[in-house]
Amino acid sequence: MTPDTICSDDDDVRPTRVEVDLDQLAQNLSAIRRHVGGAKVMAVVKANAYGHGIVPVARHLITCGADSLGVALLGEAVILRQAGITAPILVFGGIDEKQIPRFFKNDLTLTVPSLEKLRLIDTAAGAMGVKARIHLKIDTGMERIGIHYYSAEKLLEASLQCQHVEVEGIYSHFANADAEDLGHARLQLERFQDVITFYEKRSLPAPLRHIANSAGILQLPESHLDLVRPGILLYGVYPGTECARSIPVKPVLSWKSRVAYFKVVLPGHPVSYSSTWQSDHPVRVVTVPVGYGDGYFRALSNRAEVIIAGQRYPVIGRVCMDQIMVNLEQGSAYNGDDVILLGGDITAEEMANWAGTIPYEVLTNINTRVPRVYHHG
């Protein structure tokens, strides 16, 4: 069974599974489209579509009106092409020279962050007799990849001289658009807009201009430009606690398991590795088949809660590779009962707080050995 399992019922799926609501995904996309008006939407599906399953999610987003897809890696884009997805795909990440021909063979759009990469791509495209489709990457304050905004004119000028390259887009990326203080984000936008005056000064049409990620979409409408790149927002999670909730989205993913074992633990009998938890009175404890091998962080030990039959119960003892234990106290549960790990009123934000991380990591950390079950219609 593949990680991207599509089932109408889950009787044959591992008890621990992720359920993805494709209808909610479509509603989130629709809400974003309404908010950004005429801007195109590039749906970001990197990191296995933020843990939701790259192929079914990408296919559904295109069906529902996304204009293009964004991924981090060449391998992610190739998976989409092999699945028969023909929509435009931009690969954000840096590339190795040896990979360039594979972009052409798979009809993919390359990110060009430097003069060196531009020349390599132009040369390779000429040798293969193709036209490379590229987006120029401008670093306006992230200090990751991309040519610095104050050096960008030489890259833009060089791109006009290339014989085998089509500059489809030019973009940057916000570092702090999810903050309450948007001073740095506005500075980045100003720098980006200064760079793209290059085309106006030469009476040339500008390529697609884009800088707005999920946070920019929510908080900086002036950054929407020609295209926006929603990521975590598509999946119904807001990018930061300080970020405006200006678009009504809801979570698409829930993570569930089932009770696998029930026991009564006596006083003074510690639970799990390192004996970090014990009770001074008899308690009812159930074992659930999920662990850090599935992406359920070990940092959740003695901190997380789960939902069984509508009630919250604490995770006790160390999270194991494949199992956790849950204290029911004097409550009841039976083998086969559903256990909600993430979903209902347990949000990705709450789980992230328990684990000392961010919702992005909660979602993308769910291992591919956990099957994905898709609900639609």
Strand 324-329 relative to strand 283-288, pairing: antiparallel
Enzyme catalytic residues: 46, 273
Nearest to 19 by CA among 257, 180, 190: 257
Nearest to 223 by CA among 37, 30, 34, 25: 37
Give the whole-angstrom CA distance, residue 191 versus residue 376. Answer: 43
Kindly provide the b/e burial profile for residues 3-22, where b requires at least 16 CB atoms within 10 angstroms of the residue's own CB. bbbbbeeeeebbbbbbbbbb
Nearest to 29 by CA among 41, 18, 45, 39: 41
Q: Give burial (CB, 10 Å; 0-12/13-18/19+) of 37.
A: exposed
Give the whole-angstrom CA distance, residue 120 versus residue 173. Answer: 24
Which residues lie below 8 Å from residue 285, measured CB to CB, with a gap of 6+? 262, 263, 264, 265, 271, 316, 325, 326, 327, 328
Q: How far is CA 251 from CA 50, 211, 240, in A?
A: 12, 24, 15
Strand 208-212 relative to strand 165-171, pairing: parallel
